[in-house]
Amino acid sequence: MLKAAELKVFRTTLEALRARLRGDVSTMADAALRHSGTEASGDLSRMPIHMADVGTDAYEQEFTLSLMANEEETLELVEAALARIKAKTFGSCEECGGVIAKKRLEAIPFAAMCIRCAEKMESGSYDRPRQPR
């Protein structure tokens, strides 16, 4: 298991990551939902000059919302990792109960599974259903 000093480093890393992700999600939400600059000048028409601009605007908004969803997923994983630190289960695989390698946690501090279980889960060859949290 991890020592108290190591857990403190991981907690600090995860808290910093959480703060950055919260800022990113907020910034992306503002970008995706922002009003056009023409409203500020009094032009309330949302119709772009060219129809291709409509598609571009829609694509950019959809892309930003997709990125935001990915960031929110990662934020949830970070929150779960911080909860595992608090519960003193951080560093243990949620699937097999084995130890998650320190190198893996250094690379992905919010990892909830050891490499073996993560590979099985990704390949779809995991024998038992995932346990509810």
pTM above 0.95, yes or no: no
- List Cβ neighbours of 23 (8 Å cut-off, separation of 6 or more): none
- Is the pLDDT at 26 greater than 90? The verdict is no
pLDDT for the residue 37: 43
pLDDT for the residue 23: 83
SS3 61: helix
Calpha distance 26→22 (Å, rounded): 6
Label residues 55-81 b or e (16+ Cβ within 10 Å = b).
eeeeeeeeebeeebeebbebbebbeeb
- Is the pLDDT at 16 greater than 60? The verdict is yes
**Cα separation values, 103 from 7, 19, 62, 99, 108, Å:** 14, 23, 35, 11, 9
pLDDT digits (tens, 9 = 90+) for 67-118: 878 888 999 999 999 999 999 999 999 999 999 999 999 999 999 999 999 9
Amino acid at 114: C
pLDDT for the residue 99: 95
pLDDT digits (tens, 9 = 90+) for 36-78: 444 444 445 555 566 676 677 777 778 777 887 888 899 999 9
